[in-house]
A and B are shown apart, each in its own frame.
Chain A
Amino acid sequence: MNEDLLDAVIVTIDDQHLESIQTVADALTLAGMKVSGVLPTVGIISGSVARAAISTLKTVRGVAAVELDQEMRAIGSPRQQ
């Protein structure tokens, strides 16, 4: 597998570490994640990481879950006559 291929990930911060989300973001960076967004109200950190390092991110203190960034689509369309 290509080591340089990064997966976009969404990291959920647990309730106990909401107040210290920036510290968690720093720890994620140390664990190999390229952090692109820190959202303190909803407690989510977005970014990218090598697939092999995802399991490491899950062990970072304050992390509740690491999920691959899911693409979403608009789900309505013009009516077919």
Chain B
Amino acid sequence: MSQQATFSAASASEPEQTTGRYLITFREDDVAKGLGAIEKRAAVAGLPSAADFADSAIDMEQVAKAGGAVFPTLGIALVTLDPDALNSLMAAQAEDGDGAILDIEPERMFYAIGESGSLSGDYLEGYRDAVDNLYQKAMAVAAEERLGAMATFADDALSTWGLKATRAIHSSRTGSAMKVAVLDTGMDLQHPDFRGRRIVTKSFVSGEAVQDGHGHGTHCIGTACGYKDAGGRRYGIAWKAAIYAGKVLSNAGSGSSAGIIAGMEWAINSGCQVISMSLGNTTSTPSTAYETVGRRALQKKCLIVAAAGNHRSTGTVGQPANSPSIMAVGAVDNGLRLASFSCGSGPASGANVDLVAPGVAVYSSTKLPTRYASWNGTSMATPHVAGVAALWAQMSAANRGAALWQVLTSRAVRLPLSTSDVGSGLVQSPVP
């Protein structure tokens, strides 16, 4: 549809409208300590506090004048930060994972749907009906425009489309000090893009070394933890994370659950915050073993993400992704349309798709001599989520296990697609 909407609405295609101020969330009961950190690192002090106003109703004029405010009951401060102060504060938060500051995010513009003042009820009802009518007509256009405008992600000289869609290229986080396990066909340890990286390896396939004789594992590791190709195009997300490459699938691309679960045990005991598993079968009923492992991993502050499956034409999310305690990742293409192969949610409890990520024409590293290739699969979507999870985990020591899961789903971008196919939507990196 080419018809233009006659009103201006913020859409996902436009740059996000922010105010230049930042919302800083403090860890529980640490408001005083958090304000101390802001004063020390960003040289901001003397903000008006909601506690000083009658009924905590803060005077917004004073907020504008002071450039911010403190809301002690909410454990939040609103602060104007120049880029230097923002960097300093973010660095402090990263250094001190358990410190008083839980989160820093840009204050976003919100638009009122309607404001009641001294207007009469009749007027408001008439207004509401007119707006409803306009809304109904416009939404059909807006939804298509939004999709159309979003269908612009493309690989270019600087980055892959997937890193743009997940906003990884806009994140200041790197996965530094995080450990990401990728349980797959191993890794090409000779690949030049990973020179100098901290890599821990282990093979759980008898008779085969970690060296990736397939290519799938090196591709998944590239997306989750790689960085740039020889030409400077960035394709990897958590590019400073330690890589735990567990070989649980043979060079032919298959593996037993005994080896896979042994790899999960290894990754959990190694202190990995995230385990990425781009593997599965087509069995729609969850496995008790994988569900139990997933639950125990979350208790150990480890999040497991797994590919939903590529067998959409014949079935729903397979094992192990259909375990309630393992995050199931579906795939979208660069137009944010559901990949034709991406499995939908199954009827079993927890057998639902939780998130989607780029999984069509995903450019990443692969085994030599091919070096780079574009692949399709929910296998390619899964390491996008694992990499982004490492960025969130780096941001705060509170972002672990079930809490990390919650952050990923709550910060995802909703898509105009069936929840059954895309869950909470498209995974998003922490920005800045």
Contacts and interface: CB of A to CB of B under 8 A. Distances in A.
A80 B255 CA distance: 25
23 contacts: A10-B257, A10-B289, A39-B261, A39-B262, A41-B265, A42-B296, A43-B293, A70-B283, A71-B255, A72-B248, A72-B256, A73-B254, A73-B255, A74-B216, A75-B280, A75-B310, A75-B377, A76-B310, A76-B376, A76-B379, A76-B380, A78-B373, A78-B376
B258 A75 contact: no
A8 B296 contact: no
B258 to A, nearest CB: 4
B421 interface: no
A69 to B, nearest CB: 5
Contacts of A12: 288-289, 292
Given A69-B256, A74-B279, A75-B377, A41 B300 contact: yes
Nearest to A72: B279
Overall SS of chain A's interface: strand
Interface in A37-66: 37, 39-44, 46-47, 64-65
A12 B320 CA distance: 15
Interface string B265-297: 100110000000011110100011100110011
B229 interface: no
Contacts of A44: 261, 265, 289, 292-293
Contacts of B278: 74-76
Interface residues of A, number: 29
Given A41-B296, A73-B249, A78 B288 contact: no
B425 interface: no
Contacts of B283: 70
A2 interface: no
A72 B300 CA distance: 24
B281 A70 contact: yes
A73 B279 contact: yes
Interface in A1-53: 8, 10-12, 36-37, 39-44, 46-47
Most B CB within 10 A of own CB, among A37, A46, A69, A76: A76
B214 interface: yes
B374 A78 contact: yes
B256 to A, nearest CB: 5
Nearest to B380: A76
Contacts of B255: 71-73
B375 interface: yes
B257 A72 contact: yes
Given A41-B265, A67-B289, A72 B378 contact: no
Contacts of A40: 265
Interface in B1-60: none
B184 interface: yes
Given A71-B255, A74-B185, A79 B374 contact: yes
B373 to A, nearest CB: 6
Looking at A42, A70, A78, A79, which has the most chain B CB atoms within 10 Å of its CB?
A: A42
Contact of A65 (B219, B253, B288, B378): B288
B357 to A, nearest CB: 12
A77 B307 contact: no
B220 interface: yes
B361 A75 contact: no
A74 B184 contact: yes
B260 interface: yes
Contact of A77 (B220, B264, B265, B375): B375
A63 B361 CA distance: 44
A10 B261 contact: yes
Contact of A43 (B262, B280, B296): B296
Contact of B219 (A39, A41, A76): A76
B309 interface: yes
